[in-house]
Amino acid sequence: MKKVLAGLAAVATLFAPGLALAEKLVIACGSVGQEADVCKQGAEAWAKKTGNTVELMSVPQDAGQQLAQFQQLLAAGSADVDVIRIDVVWPGLMANNFVDLKQYFGEDVLKEHFQPIVKNNTVNGKLIAIPWFTDAGLLYYRKDLLEKYGQKPPTTWQELVQSAKAVLEGEKKAGDAKLVGFVFQGKAYEGLTCNALEWIDSFKGGTIVDSTGNVTVNNPKAAEAIDFFAGLVGNVVPKGVLNYQEEEARNAFQAGNAVFMRNWPYAWALVNGKDSPVAGKVGVMALPKGGADGKSTGTLGGWQLGVSKFSKNPKLAADLVKYLTGPEEQKRRALVASFNPTIMSLYKDPELLKANPFMGSLYDTFVNAVPRPTITGAKYNQVSTEFRNGVYATLTGKGKAADNLKKVEAKLQSLGKGGKW
């Protein structure tokens, strides 16, 4: 029997040398907005082309909870997932558990992508992931409502508050009880870290930890910024925002219940979708400055695809990553779901720019986005947690920003080496 089987195998190899057996891969690729659907379409296209199958692993929407799920799987050496989507702030946290993709991706492919992202994905010389899409915080606004009340798109946060108040006053009189001024991601999770970094940077209050490793979070400009936003809660900003992630903010805005929204590019395709009540009524711009001498800034976000070290099929998994991160698929994803490509030449593609004009007009916002303090390496998640908890305390009325930031500073210094990173 053994002989017969061995013979059959030899015959199969002889007659179909290039035909590998169909394999099944598992990919974890996000669940905010259209993320899962659009990933599935791409994965299925690859599966059809190669004769394999791909299954999606379900993941929570909260980036921090996703991280916990992957860390658990990887710590257990699990082969249950082959391709993992990695947040731009994770490479320093999990590099050891990924395959070095340099063996599968040549310089010709890598040089097409934004180089700072490729660099960010390279840890101690190991390329742990390929850029998939990039992100920066943006301001969405209701063009129709601003026009109705003679308001211009705001260049400062203070102007945003004034405009929101003017619109709210008029619309409330006209009987719209549900309308609120501004929604963002205010829950105590990674999204709040992104929002609060934007507030602080826009007031020129630095970046939590600076590029040389000094903890800078406790300064008067940073405190002014956080107190400013805390002062809006219950006023122009509904209290419910303190429990909002990306999708809660988008749902409120898309239903026509908010004048302004801070969100990532993915919201563009959805708020302009066929069934969206606000389709065609939305403008998008860079986030406002923290006062006349502040700066306009957006936090750098975005996701990469890496291959788990525990995958039974790393070579095939790398082929799936190559397909999903390639130019054709990145363009498709931008057209159907407004995910910003990481391949530079796509920003000159007329079809893509027609569907997403902001990708051209706000190009500088994406290229100059402010990074979170990943200089803190393996401790980034702790740093982010301490920071946003301090911000959240202020937003919920538990102390002034100056006192809370002082406590955050002490915690970050004790996490870092000798008070410094």
Which residues of this protein are in contact with ligand GLC, per CB under 6 A? 63, 87-88, 135, 190-191, 194, 246, 264, 301-303
Taking the complex as a whole, the smallest distance from the CB of residue 264 to ligand GLC amounts, in Å, to: 5
Q: Which is nearer to ligand GLC, 87 or 349 (CB)?
A: 87
Residue of minimal CB distance from ligand GLC? 301
Taking the complex as a whole, the smallest distance from the CB of residue 68 to ligand GLC amounts, in Å, to: 14
Q: Which helix (H) or strand (E) holds 308?
A: none
Q: Which is nearer to ligand GLC, 88 or 161 (CB)?
A: 88
Count of CA atoms in the C-beta half-sphere (13 A) of 81: 25
Q: Which is nearer to ligand GLC, 122 or 163 (CB)?
A: 122
The pair of structure tokens assigned to 419 is 């008070």
Taking the complex as a whole, the smallest distance from the CB of residue 302 to ligand GLC amounts, in Å, to: 5
- Going across the sheet that includes 258-263, the strands are 180-183, 258-263, 138-142, 282-285
Taking the complex as a whole, the smallest distance from the CB of residue 66 to ligand GLC amounts, in Å, to: 9
d(CA 125, CA 102): 9
Q: Which is nearer to ligand GLC, 164 or 183 (CB)?
A: 183
The pair of structure tokens assigned to 177 is 């009880």
- The DSSP string of 97-131 is GB--GGGT--HHHHTTB-HHHHHHTEETTEE--EE
Taking the complex as a whole, the smallest distance from the CB of residue 303 to ligand GLC amounts, in Å, to: 6
Taking the complex as a whole, the smallest distance from the CB of residue 136 to ligand GLC amounts, in Å, to: 9
d(CA 163, CA 168): 8
84 phi/psi in degrees, rounded to 5:
-120, 135
Q: Which is nearer to ligand GLC, 265 or 291 (CB)?
A: 265
8-state DSSP, 348 = G
Q: Which is nearer to ligand GLC, 87 or 201 (CB)?
A: 87
CA dihedral sign of residues 413, 417, 420, 421: negative
8-state DSSP, 241 = G
Cβ within 8 Å of residue 125, ≥6 positions away: none
Taking the complex as a whole, the smallest distance from the CB of residue 92 to ligand GLC amounts, in Å, to: 14
Q: Which is nearer to ligand GLC, 87 or 329 (CB)?
A: 87
